[in-house]
Structure 1
Amino acid sequence: MIYLIQGEQEFIRSQRLAEIKARLGPSEMADLNTIELDGARTSLGEIRDVADVIPFLSERRLVIVYGFLRRLIGQGKGEKAAGDPESDALLDYLDHVPEATDLVFVEEKDLPRRHPLVRHLRKLEKEGKARIYECKAPSPRELPRWVQRRAQEKGASITPPAAAALANAIGQDLRLIDVELDKLITYVAGDRAIELADVETMVAYAQTGTIFNLTDAIAEGRARDAFTLLHRLRESGAAPPYLLTMIHRQFRILLQVSELVRAGYPHDQIASRLRLHEFVVDRAIRQARFWQVSDILAAFQLILQTDFAIKTGRLDPDAAIDLLILDLLRRARPSRRAHRPVSSITASPRPL
């Protein structure tokens, strides 16, 4: 069997490769029958030499070649066309790979779909002689479902709110999500599904979500909720410098989203342009209804003053954060802004 594993998502590439390796059986014998080659320094002749070897005390032999096809095809402009001797030789060999050999080509980027080699591999795939894996990260909308499927693959379960919180907190770093899932599975000890509270407790990145709730409460003038959330963040170990940095980040997102909404960008393009999860954009758009750009800029000034007061020792760090929250609550004035549509926000002269 011939495999092509291609795409920029390293975690998915490694998972596909692990699945193929697992089919060789116990690791002791699998290691004896696995050869890995660096395509940047490997010739087709060398690939053939190792692929044609009979498996040792096993039914199958695995040959993994990294980056060979991209080097063979070429990079971007000046790609080698059909008729290139080495490409033609590989095309011929693909039809004669021993049945006992699994030949795997791993590429960090997608190969040109119209290149003869790729078209030939797709033809072999239809005949059941090859398999092509496209390794792309799930979209922000699909990511929570991916988290749930990954948990199921590990023999665990995670509730939809918890999966969404984990996806929102970490983004499209699938390897980091996988690590955090292992931590959460250990935490619940397999006794129950992973819940939202577990994510908020165990995943440091999930504090970003609590920061969003905090800025929600500030924007809507909910002082009691704002200080309850602030207390929760402190209990989870969030230090004043971290809190200040995250509050600044949320107001920066708020400003950027407000400007792009005013400029007429649709929701999905805002998420793509700012490289934010759609959930983050949704909440920022909702928050923007309570703020004028002049007030957001004033919030930046308050944050700067708070940072200066903490660093110079003029104020106790926790007290400084408390005063900042109070000042921001005064700025929000939700009763005067709740009815204002986002599109009426005046653009800031500052660049994104």
Structure 2
Amino acid sequence: MQDLVYLYHGASEYILRKEINKLLEELNVDQFNVVKYDLLESNFSDVIEELQTISFFSDQRVVLVSGVLELYKLDEYDQQRFIQYLENPNPDTILIMYSSQINEDNLPITKAINLYAKITKLQEIKKEDLDLIIKKSFEEDGYEIASEAISELIERTNGDYPTIEQEITKLKLYAYDHKAINVQAIRLLVSKNFDVNIFELSSAIVAGDKTKAIQIYYDLLVSNISPVRIVSYLSGRIRELIHTGLLLSRGYSQDMIAKHFQVSDAKAYYMVRDAKAVGVKKLEKYLEQLADLDFDIKSGNIDPRLGVELFLFGVE
């Protein structure tokens, strides 16, 4: 018997939507027969009316509903209407609900969803699984990718899976004839993520490498990143290093710091390295200089581009 009610939950909206698109392909439902509602914006009565509408022009329709947590805020009458629909759904309509979070309290509406819906809990993609996922994505289409290229791709995208997918599509087109991806192709085609550039810029500042710091700064300007935004994010990165230094002084290990900031072990390694390489006092000095620079830029006392250049030339 065809399932008429689905609930997807437990992951980011990107992962949820991707899984729902797979389901729509399996159901062979045309996009013209998919109606979307967000309960944060839509009236519940409109959703119920849509669900109960008989389809005259196609075998089945899909009603896609987000903002599922709003169901638990309905008054008793509307909750009962929804429960009654779940008990006797319209055979012409497939209801697909999705939400990153769901209410697991022992409420009548929760019991009804658990009883009548096909529930799928999805997992976020973990960064430690990205290597295998990327490799498999290329191999499925007959491509080979070097392990160094995979590492470079993850680094340049900061492990952001939606961005990785977009870059994979671009890389496959680039290597369509020879079906091989090396690290040079990644460096040629994949721009570094803004967070990665800021991370490298702060590391160059900590190391006192003015030449590298200036080069990264110019790369950011070419990418249309404003000096004001660079100052703001750089200040945040310096605060992060100060925080890391304080945690180290309290006996935190690299693993503990990775968990504290919810970052990868690789990033935690560089955070610990940079925090150890320069004292808290120097970091606080840089932070104060950046605060003064931010004020001067916003007050019109200095040209933004020149102000950041002078700051970088002054690192020790």
Same fold (TM over 0.5): yes
Whose radius of gyration is greater, 1 or 2?
1
SS at match of 1:295: helix
Shift of 1:74: 2.0
Does the Cα contact within 8 Å between 2:51 and 2:93 map onto a contact in 1?
Answer: no
Question: Which residue in 2 is equivalent to 1:345?
Answer: none
Question: Which residue in 1 is equivalent to 2:151?
Answer: 161
Does the Cα contact within 8 Å between 1:165 and 1:199 map onto a contact in 2?
Answer: no
Q: Please give the alpha-carbon distance, in whole angstroms, between the structure 1 residues aligned to 2:213 and 2:143.
A: 29
| Counterparts in 2 of 1:123 and 1:319: CA distance versus 1, 3 Å | closer
Which letter does structure 1 place at the counterpart of 2:35?
Answer: I
Does the Cα contact within 8 Å between 2:154 and 2:164 map onto a contact in 1?
Answer: no
The answer to whether the aligner puts 1:258 opposite 2:245 as a matched pair is yes
Does the Cα contact within 8 Å between 1:143 and 1:167 map onto a contact in 2?
Answer: no
The answer to whether the aligner puts 1:9 opposite 2:9 as a matched pair is no
Question: Which residue in 2 is equivalent to 1:34?
Answer: 34
SS at match of 1:164: helix
Which letter does structure 1 place at the counterpart of 2:70?
Answer: R
| Counterparts in 2 of 1:38 and 1:131: CA distance versus 1, 3 Å | same
The answer to whether the aligner puts 1:115 opposite 2:107 as a matched pair is yes
Aligned residue pairs, count: 300
Shift of 1:284: 0.6
| Counterparts in 2 of 1:35 and 1:262: CA distance versus 1, 3 Å | same
CA displacement, residues 276-335 of structure 1 (integer Å, 9 cap, x when unaligned): 5554332111222222111222344566788879x747x9779746633xx42xxxxxxx
Q: Please give the alpha-carbon distance, in whole angstroms, between the structure 2 residues aligned to 1:155 and 1:121.
A: 42
TM-score, normalised to structure 2, is 0.67
Q: Please give the alpha-carbon distance, in whole angstroms, between the structure 2 residues aligned to 1:255 and 1:46.
A: 56
Does the Cα contact within 8 Å between 1:6 and 1:135 map onto a contact in 2?
Answer: yes
How do 1:133-212 and structure 2 match up within 5 A?
Answer: 133-134=120-121, 137-139=124-126, 141-142=128-129, 159-168=149-158, 171=160, 174-189=161-176, 191-192=178-179, 196-206=183-193, 208-209=195-196, 212=199
Q: Please give the alpha-carbon distance, in whole angstroms, between the structure 1 residues aligned to 2:196 and 2:177.
A: 25
CA displacement, residues 13-53 of structure 1 (integer Å, 9 cap, x when unaligned): 322232232234374xx52x333345441337525522xx3
SS at match of 2:98: strand
Question: Which residue in 2 is equivalent to 1:74?
Answer: 73
The RMSD of aligned alpha carbons is 4.6
How do 1:1-352 and structure 2 match up within 5 A?
Answer: 1=3, 2-7=5-10, 9-25=12-28, 27=30, 30-31=31-32, 33-37=33-37, 39=39, 40-43=42-45, 46-50=49-53, 53=54, 56-58=57-59, 60-67=60-67, 69-74=68-73, 84=76, 86-97=78-89, 101-107=93-99, 109-112=101-104, 114-124=106-116, 130-134=117-121, 137-139=124-126, 141-142=128-129, 159-168=149-158, 171=160, 174-189=161-176, 191-192=178-179, 196-206=183-193, 208-209=195-196, 212-213=199-200, 215-216=202-203, 219=206, 227=211, 231=215, 234=218, 237=222, 241=227, 248-263=235-250, 270-271=257-258, 274=261, 276=263, 278-300=265-287, 312=302, 320=310, 323-324=313-314, 327-328=315-316
Q: Please give the alpha-carbon distance, in whole angstroms, between the structure 1 residues aligned to 2:313 and 2:99.
A: 53
Which letter does structure 1 place at the counterpart of 2:104?
Answer: P
| Counterparts in 2 of 1:299 and 1:62: CA distance versus 1, 3 Å | closer
Gaps of 5+ in 1: 125-129, 329-352
Which letter does structure 1 place at the counterpart of 2:211?
Answer: F
Q: Please give the alpha-carbon distance, in whole angstroms, between the structure 2 residues aligned to 1:247 and 1:65.
A: 40
CA displacement, residues 212-264 of structure 1 (integer Å, 9 cap, x when unaligned): 4565466557x5xx736754764683689477666555433211221233345
SS at match of 1:102: strand
Q: Please give the alpha-carbon distance, in whole angstroms, between the structure 2 residues aligned to 1:188 and 1:249.
A: 38
Does the Cα contact within 8 Å between 2:8 and 2:99 map onto a contact in 1?
Answer: yes
Does the Cα contact within 8 Å between 1:64 and 1:103 map onto a contact in 2?
Answer: yes
Does the Cα contact within 8 Å between 2:7 and 2:97 map onto a contact in 1?
Answer: yes
Deviates more, 1:10-19 or 1:152-161: 152-161
